[in-house]
Structure 1
């Protein structure tokens, strides 16, 4: 490391898009409990998921997550597996009835993947799209029109590849509003009562890979179609408290520890303030570069989780990345489908890492002038 700001324990400046940075205090707590959890003589990875110790962690994590969201009445947390990608299929499998479609707002690569799964499983409709803007913006909320035979309205709250994010959400009326929040869950204050169901892979803001969180109104989870596989029914997991089959126990334990850390940051309001400060620093560096760096997303839609930017040539971008890697920065390449540069600054990425990156960006620009 060559001095780009304060750097503790020689840890990398981690801007990976996922799996992503975890809070250092969480990793240290997990390390201290790894071999002997709660004086059991076992790691939590070794014990039965039917035992009292694991079940207490499991239930605590569910309660803590709902607590951070204001303890909304009538909602249930599920811990599932298969990532958000499996949810792309589970949503239409569970909610599409004959003659119905799922309405999807097309905002980029991940929204498109969800839409295509629904299309395979019965029917999908595009309620609005920003494709003409090359997915550089979130569509006008007033332009989102679900199909008359829609079973639900689906959005992707944050597009990691293009770097756009919703900060207000469409009014879906009586239709359940369903959101893939894999990359921005718990990143800012949220009224969950707007949603019928949200889902998120844990590996960006909630914990390590391996567990997927679903938070939904209980009425949507209680009864699932009997013709779909048992393991794919929300009702199966709802009725069995997510213990129908062996859960990813260590990942659930880590989610609980991350949720404790979020509480220590002042809850969602505290985390949001820090995230906006980090994002503001990087966008200020981009906007103040005189065009040397160019933000990808339109200003009103800029994500506070994934800061995407370009330079005048791919050659210069490669030079930037090579220099950054030599200084201990990790994960700054844009997604392979679009190229460019991307700093993923999820909750656990400290301000010091963003300050170090901003300083490096300024230094790099000066060396190329």
Structure 2
């Protein structure tokens, strides 16, 4: 655990009465590899939870267990007070909506025909089905294009219809997996508004996964970050980035750089070391980024050290994520 990770808010119990989802100790092993290792989290009523992890972090496996697609080897999931297993599994699953990243629509059918089909799969019939289809089209802003075939839709419109299909049974909890991948700014804004309406008008909770960090920062009430199957951090955006101080300063030093450099930089914040192919990188969690930068340039002059490997990061989810996991969110290594 890094020094920054040790200061970040961690889960504080899973016994809130208004939680729509609780997961305790979820573990999944494939062969000798543990993909998810003792994961615990919660989602409150009406909460939008950002769920982040780099590729290969166990995020997809975790979501499969949270939605009842994959049974855990150990641990338990509860949806709206009902165990997601055994005799209550069917009822618990009926309170979940899942919108996959892949477009799960029939391109040769119209939007209305697609939604009528999926509403029927959910057991809706007659007037109830017609009402839900009209509502889903309205809430996603597609009423005026309901009679057009999906093949004529833009990518953003298909994304919105994909969401509509997952809302027809009005679940209490919706999982949205990368809902804005490949869409333009206007469509992203409409998807944002749809998510906020679900919470505002129906009190729905949302688990939202995205590789686009500004999107998560803007939309989500609380964020969890997992890597290698374990929860690394949980909290609001401000709580998560607070331990980064004014920002991060990373300075790559050649082998044999004086130890005095690290000691002097410690006056400006917490200093951690990372091995690099050419030597060592010092990562300073700076109290005052400008003063820390001036100290680095002064040390570089006095000790004749290069500044070519210098990088500044203001505190945001991207820099926090990289610092916690050592990987950018799309890295697979």
TM range (shorter): under 0.3
Give 1 or 2 for the bigger CA radius of gyration. 2
Higher relative contact order (CA 8 A, sep 6+): 1
Bigger fraction of residues in strand: 2
Structure 1-normalised TM-score?
0.24
Structure 2-normalised TM-score?
0.26
